[in-house]
Amino acid sequence: MSRTIIHLIDPIHPAPAFINEAAAVIQHGGLVAFPTETVYGLGADALDAHAAARIFEAKQRALNDPLIVHVHEPQLDALVDLAALTNTQRRDLQTLTDAFWPGPLTLVLPKRAHVPSVISAGLDTIAVRMPDHPVARALIAAARTPIAAPSANLFGHVSPTTAQHVLDDLDGRFDMLLDGGPTRIGVESTVLSLLHSPPRILRPGGITREMLLALGIPAERAPHSSHSDSPDTDAQLAPGMLTSHYAPRATLEIAPSLAALRKRCAELASHNTRIGILLTSAQITQCPDLHPQFDLGASLDDIARSLYAGLRALDDAAVDVILVTRIPPDGLGDALADRLGRAAGRKVDSDGG
């Protein structure tokens, strides 16, 4: 494949002509990158094994890392073996989809046998979510098939929150890009396994543990698995936990405090190491002298929205080391601390610290 067709599309009222064109690409076994509320996805027909296999090829994704399947309504019987659920699981599923769909919550459920096994990397489970983005939902509805879509980045790289990020990683490797502007949430969905008792958070994300607890779902964070990047059994059981995920090219260092970050800057500068610094707006006020700096914004929502763009921007500036201060793992901070830990290439504790 040589050329990717790009359409600028209104994220709130997507033009039906572009949606239909993209849906036809999906129906013919092609790949379409599209915005969701979290990050951009690289989509293919989830019921077409050949099309789904092309996703792995385009991303250079390891075949043992299963994909999320996106639906446009909370209708799961085509994908999920609902009969295999216990009453408790069925009740939790109903509670969760009522509360959080459409939205950044991916549920791991028993897979129906006819769903191609390449989607789930051979597991007998399937990860499903209903995205909260008009473009994503219109595309899935028009394609009349569930759409398998991992984040639209090269495997192991930072997830894309703009169409340019997608092109930077994958231009020419897929058929069509729907450019709906920057994504609203900026970190990936929460992956929750309903097959564990209590339900287990395999990847923290936009729906926080606190939000699940408030609904009476006693979700637990997955105990930090010891697995590395090797395609071993652990990686199959909790595939989203590969430590190499979400990595920039530069080395990321997480300082315990702003004072420690300052000290480290001075140290690195004295060795002529090129540094880039991710700072919150408040930190920038305190440290106007530290450069080059990327403004992450003020709130946790701002940081989530800008974190991946910041990592990519500093990477593009060809720095050797990116510095950031630790984010407390509460609420959305859990997902942010988790991604920072992975980007730093080290294993994180189950509390994301």
Interaction pattern, residues 273-312, with ligand TXA; x per rule: CB under 6 A: ----------------------------------------
Contacts for 185 with CB less than 8 Å, ≥ 6 apart: 37, 38, 104, 206, 301, 304, 305
Binding mask 172-211 for ligand TXA (x = CB under 6 A): ----------------xx-x----------xx--------
- How many residues appear in the chain? 353
Closest-approach residue to Mg ion (CB): 151
**Residue 146 lies near ligand TXA (rule: CB under 6 A):** no
Q: Does 110 bind ligand TXA (CB under 6 A)?
A: no
Place of tokens 């080059």: 292
Interface segment toward ligand TXA; rule CB under 6 A; list 17-25, 88-96, 117-125, 289-297: 117-125
CA dist 228 → 240, 242, 246, 335, 343 (Å): 11, 6, 14, 19, 14
Order of strands across the sheet with 275-279?
251-255, 321-325, 275-279, 293-295
CB of 68 to Mg ion, least distance (A): 9
* 151 belongs to the binding site for Mg ion (CB under 5 A): yes
Q: Which two tokens stand for residue 309?
A: 């763009």
Residue 65 interacting with ligand TXA (CB under 6 A) = yes
**Pairing of the two strands 321-325 and 251-255:** parallel
The DSSP code for 109 is E
Residue with Cβ nearer ligand TXA (111 or 279) = 111
Letters for 10-39 (x = contact with ligand TXA by CB under 6 A, - = none) are --------------------------x-xx
Q: Which runs of consecutive H residues, i.e. helices, occur in 257-343? A: 258-270, 281-286, 300-316, 333-343
Residue ranges that bind ligand TXA, judged by CB under 6 A: 36, 38-39, 41, 65-68, 104, 106, 108, 120, 123, 125-127, 131, 149-151, 188-189, 191, 202-203, 239-240
